[in-house]
Amino acid sequence: MYYVYLLLSEKDKRTYCGSTDNLARRLGEHNSGKNISTRNRRPLKLIYTESFDDLTSARFREKYFKSRSGRRELKRIFCELNIGE
C-alpha cells in the first residue's frame, strides 16, 4: 500500500505534500529533521492521507496536488477539515 500525505507545519502553518509506503516512518523522518524540505518547519502533523495500490498512482496524485488545480482541491479539503490556510 502506498500513501499520499499532507503535513501541516505548526511553526509556519504551511503544508508539505509527499508520498510513501510507510507513513509512520516517513512522519518520523520529517519530525526528526532528516528531510531538508521540512527541517526548519518542525513540528509537523499529519492532516490528510490517501491510499493507493501502486506507487505510480500515488506519485501521480502527489504531482497533481502540487499543480495549480490540485492546490485548489487542497483548499476545498482544508475547508472541509476546518484547517485555516
Q: Does residue 13 belong to any structural domain of this protein?
A: yes
Q: Is residue 16 part of a domain?
A: yes
Average pLDDT of 19-29? 96
Backbone angles phi, psi at 72, to 5 degrees: -65, -40
| Domain count across the chain | 1
| Rounded distance between C-alpha atoms, residue 13 and residue 27, angstroms | 17
Residue 85 lies in a domain: no
CATH code at 51?
3.40.1440
The per-residue pLDDT for range 25-73, each reduced to its tens digit, is 999 999 999 999 999 999 999 999 999 999 999 999 999 999 999 999 9
Class of residue 79 by CB neighbours under 10 A (exposed 0-12, middle 13-18, buried 19+): exposed
pLDDT of residue 82: 78
Residue-number span of the structural domain to which 13 is assigned: 2-80
Q: How confident is the model at residue 8 (pLDDT cuts 50, 70, 90)?
A: very high
What is the model's pTM?
Answer: 0.89
